[in-house]
Amino acid sequence: MASNASLEFIAAQTKYDAATSDEERLIALQQMKSTAPSHKGAENLRAEINRKISALKSNIERQKTQVAKKGSTQSLSIKKDGIGQVVILGLPNTGKSTLLNKLAGKDVAQVLPYAFSTIEPVPAMMNYDGTQIQLVEVPAIIAGSSTGKANGKELISIARSSDGLIILGSKEEQEIIKKELEASLIFLNRQRPPIEVKPSVFQGVQVAGKEKLKFPVDQLIGYLKSVGKANSTVIISGQIESLSQVSEAINESVVYKSAIFVNSYDVTDHSLIDLKDQIFLMLNKILVYTKKPGKEADLNDPLDLDKGSTLADLAVHLHKDFAKNLKSAKIWGSAKFPGQRVGPDYELKHKDIVEIII
């Protein structure tokens, strides 16, 4: 322990001792550096901290390079189909194939009474109100998959590129999957921390929203300089508690996925209907039906749009001439009254019926 060490330095050293990754160790060392004693007797301590920081940064960069090289040669992919791709993940013998068959409405995956019976990804299509959602059963994930066990890295790469995930199993089994995904920088049902770091043409680090920062701004600036972002504009739009959040926000390898957690033993015919609704909602889509004047809408042939789409977006989806000449449309569903006339900026809702007027 350094003599005359501050409480902040001791806290940072405790974080360093408890760290389980190089990224966490680097953040802790940056905090130790900024709070280390400044007297002459602590010169060796400061030099040792700088040496460790340099070594960790080199190791992190080397690991990133290795991951990038492996990812380019080992990652698997399933060509996306339908309005979205949802991947089913689970440990061995958690019922992935059974669930896939139930959701698809037919036997597309072979159900066998032993572990690791699925040896390659199995895609299938699920009908949802006249549209198709692609489901992919991935071979079993296990503890250690994130480090390469049982082809784990290749399998997790499928989850990384998906539009959403179903995590199947007991709570304990689900937690194992969640930890393996987090170790692969895939975070479930959460958003990127509310801080943005942009390159700047000006010298130094300019911080907007620093009042939302819950630690000294000098620590933030020191950390950004240490990771090659010495000239940056920082925009903080929400509360930032730690440098770990900053590290996560600027890490381009981090992805965020919506996920549904399903207990293998709770899947009944009734819950299956609810699960299909959850899968659709996870994709952030809406289904919209169109009709011609004087005719009924074909409710078996919906159009899928991103949630928040407007009438103008629908017109572009249909045909460029519609978009060019669009004036208004009649809406049934979300309108105040059936057949209400609305303009191009009207935001459509799920299962609206639209009659475009040109």
pLDDT tens track for 308-332: 999 999 988 887 766 777 888 899 9
Task: Specify the residue for token string 């959460």.
Answer: 190
As a whole number, the mean pLDDT across the chain is: 87
By CB neighbour count within 10 A (0-12 exposed, 13-18 middle, 19+ buried), where does 106 fall? exposed
160 compared with 299, residue with greater pLDDT:
160
* pLDDT category of residue 64 using cuts at 50, 70 and 90: low
Mean pLDDT of 126-144: 94
pLDDT at 209: 93
Mean pLDDT of 68-97: 79
Question: Cα(202)–Cα(232) distance, rounded to whole angstroms?
Answer: 8
Tell me the HSE value of 310 on the side-chain side, using a 13 A CA sphere: 10
Mean pLDDT of 297-318: 90
79 compared with 84, residue with greater pLDDT:
84
* pLDDT of 74 over the 50 cut: no
- Give, to the nearest 10 degrees, the angle between helix 43-74 and helix 152-161: 80
Question: Cα(63)–Cα(251) distance, rounded to whole angstroms?
Answer: 14
pLDDT at 113: 52
Give per-residue pLDDT as tens, 84-101. Answer: 999 999 999 898 999 999
Mean pLDDT of 340-356: 93
pLDDT at 72: 44
* pLDDT of 10 over the 60 cut: yes
Determine the length of the chain: 358
- Angstrom CA distances, 232 to 34, 57, 184, 190, 250, stand at 20, 19, 27, 26, 12
